[in-house]
């Protein structure tokens, strides 16, 4: 099991993400970013965080320390937002905390030098686990003490949202052309040679065993928690063997990403009433063009 800590103080919600995690102080004198079971993404996002995060750690990638957090909503009684309060009240019991990295900055291209080997290992892991949510728009990477750290792996393991079709997707190649590290010339072939042999049934069993039973219980189509665990292990082990089928083939150029952004913006404008056609898309994130301008300036 992951180490268990108890929440003592709910400091603040982090509204940047859709799951609205919160900064929480605990009885081990630690401060964690806690993702809650009552959030819209539900328990499966936490399952993915544990499996992918702990697999990444065992493969030599940097991931904040994970803890199970026993959370009593009483510690957040002063939170004024009623919607957040509802989520916290629905999250009594075990939740997942990630060690807060004070001063960490969101990664953007050109911020630090990431060599092709390190980039390849991150991209390879994302391809193995079906994580399409580490893009130039939404890197889910931070820089701390000059090094790259992986965060927010909850969108990975796409297959576990529909177990009935999981077997058919074992060799699926996901579109990672807009990956956040695509400009770093990721050497996914080298990563496959180095990491592929490490992803054994035994390693996967160790990682999957870290997921609490209650997050796996009641999964439709399975007669026990052990059966669910075996399904995760079987799928990922089979996928690791079939890497030739899903290794990313290439990454979009800056120009291709700009064109994709312009097409997206045009589709957005086309769906607006005439009086809104000239209003820019203010979605709160930098455009791909802005991101790549930063990269080339760097």
Residue 283: the pLDDT is: 44
Q: What is the pLDDT of residue 17?
A: 65
Q: What share of the chain is helix, strand, coil (3-state, %, to 5)?
A: 45, 15, 40
Q: Where are the domains of the chain?
A: 4-101, 106-246, 254-297
Note the pLDDT tens digit of each residue in 132-175: 999 998 999 999 999 999 999 999 999 999 999 999 999 999 99
Say what the pLDDT of residue 259 is: 74
Per-residue pLDDT at 276: 54
Mean pLDDT per block of 10 residues along the chain (298 residues) reads: 96 83 97 96 96 98 98 96 95 98 93 96 98 94 98 96 96 95 95 98 98 97 97 98 94 74 72 58 43 37
Strands (E) located in the chain: 4-13, 22-26, 31-35, 66-71, 93-99, 105-106, 141-144, 147-150
CB 257 within 8 A of CB 175: no
Tokens 């990491």, residue located: 195
pTM of the predicted model as reported, rounded to 2 decimal places: 0.87
Tens digit of each residue's pLDDT (9 = 90 or more) over 265-290:
777 767 666 655 554 554 444 443 33
For residue 286, count CB atoms less than 10 angstroms from its CB and return exposed for 0-12, middle for 13-18, buried for 19 or more: middle
Q: What is the pLDDT of residue 287?
A: 41
Q: What is the pLDDT of residue 277?
A: 55
């Amino acid at each position: 099991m992951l180490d268990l800590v108890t929440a003592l103080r709910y400091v603040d919600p982090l509204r940047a993400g859709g799951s609205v995690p919160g900064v929480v102080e605990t009885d081990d004198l630690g401060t964690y970013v806690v993702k809650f079971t009552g959030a819209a993404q539900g328990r499966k996002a936490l399952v993915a965080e544990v499996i992918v995060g702990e697999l990444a750690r065992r493969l030599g990638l940097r991931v904040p320390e994970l803890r199970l957090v026993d959370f009593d909503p009483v510690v957040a009684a002063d939170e004024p937002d009623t919607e957040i309060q509802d989520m916290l009240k629905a999250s009594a019991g075990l939740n997942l905390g990630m060690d807060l990295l004070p001063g960490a900055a969101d990664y953007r291209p050109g911020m630090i030098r990431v060599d092709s080997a390190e980039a390849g290992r991150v991209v390879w892991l994302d391809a193995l686990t079906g994580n399409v949510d580490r893009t130039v728009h939404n890197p889910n990477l931070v820089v701390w003490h000059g090094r790259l750290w992986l965060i927010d792996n909850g969108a990975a393991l796409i297959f576990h949202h529909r177990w009935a079709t999981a077997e058919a997707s074992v060799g699926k190649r996901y579109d990672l052309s807009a990956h956040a590290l695509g400009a770093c010339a990721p050497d996914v072939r080298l990563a496959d040679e180095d990491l592929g042999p490490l992803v054994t049934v035994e390693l996967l069993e160790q990682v999957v065993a870290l997921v609490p039973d209650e997050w796996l219980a009641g999964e439709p189509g399975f007669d026990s928690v052990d059966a669910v665990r075996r399904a995760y292990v079987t799928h990922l082990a089979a996928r690791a063997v079939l890497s030739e089928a899903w290794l990313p083939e290439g990454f979009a150029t800056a120009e291709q990403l700009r064109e994709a952004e312009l097409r997206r913006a045009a589709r957005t404008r086309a769906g607006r009433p005439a009086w809104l056609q000239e209003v820019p898309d203010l979605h709160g994130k930098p455009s791909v063009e802005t991101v790549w301008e930063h990269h080339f300036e760097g």
